[in-house]
Amino acid sequence: MNKSGKFYGIGVGPGDPTLITMKAAQILSKVDMVIAPAADKESLALKIARPYINCKVIEMNFPMISNKNKLNDIWDKNVKTIQEILQEGNDTAFITLGDPMIYSTYTYILSRLCGYEAETIPGITSFCAAASKINIPIVEGDAPFAVIPVKDKKLLEKTLKDFDNVVLMKISRNYDDVVKVLKENGFCAVLITHCGQEDEKIEFDLDKYLGRGVSYLSLIIAWRDKK
């Protein structure tokens, strides 16, 4: 029986292929198989990693659906496929947008792969890339900061009372509410969409998108206006 392959989780950063680490590029160039998660359309992670890959790529479907039973079946099938690939002795890299340890599909896969050797390579987060792009710090000195995927208004309102520096993710779900709550709490904010990609947008006037919505890959960096 073959020795099982090693499983790598690789953060490829938010969009610009040059924001991948040397280590990630090096591992991508030497593994036997790359798995790119795709949610119904072409994998952005794969587009970023493509220049560094020298092997077969499997695009694995992780659809965004709400039916839990159906979702579980798909996940089980995907994990089984990965186990089979590893058992055949293939070193295998699972690529993931941004960083693998922050809001990533990879950690769910990893938790189901007990017994296999696994190494995770960190990636540039979308919020770090966005802050660099606009030359505005996320946080300085001894201040804490919070990262919030905005689900409900209440948690956002509470967090803006307690923190002067926040990063808001997944804001496409209730963009108008987010803008309103930021204003009511005296926050300055910048909207960044598709950071590092060809269609990147940076917008200091958040009102511009009210009633029109923003892309799923949008985030806001915000800070309390102390003037």
What residue ranges bind a second copy (CB under 8 A)? 9, 11, 13, 16-23, 25-26, 99-104, 107-108, 110, 118, 120-125, 128-129, 131-133, 135-149, 151, 155, 158-159, 162-163, 170
Going from the C-alpha of 135 to that of each of 5, 128, 138, 221, the distances in angstroms are 42, 10, 10, 11
Give the residue with the Cβ less far from a second copy, 67 or 207: 67
Give the residue with the Cβ less far from a second copy, 12 or 214: 12
Cβ neighbours, 10 Å, residue 149: 13
Going from the C-alpha of 225 to that of each of 203, 206, 222, the distances in angstroms are 17, 15, 9
**Considering the complex, what minimum distance in angstroms separates the CB of residue 40 from a second copy?**
19
As a dihedral over the C-alpha atoms of residue 24, residue 30, residue 32, residue 35, rounded to 10 degrees, the angle is 20
**Considering the complex, what minimum distance in angstroms separates the CB of residue 111 from a second copy?**
8
**Considering the complex, what minimum distance in angstroms separates the CB of residue 152 from a second copy?**
10
DSSP assignment letter at 17 = G
**Considering the complex, what minimum distance in angstroms separates the CB of residue 146 from a second copy?**
5
Give the residue with the Cβ less far from a second copy, 1 or 22: 22
Residue located via tokens 């994990």? 79
Give the residue with the Cβ less far from a second copy, 140 or 212: 140
Residue in 97, 39, 103 with CA at minimum distance from that of residue 71: 39
**Considering the complex, what minimum distance in angstroms separates the CB of residue 9 from a second copy?**
8
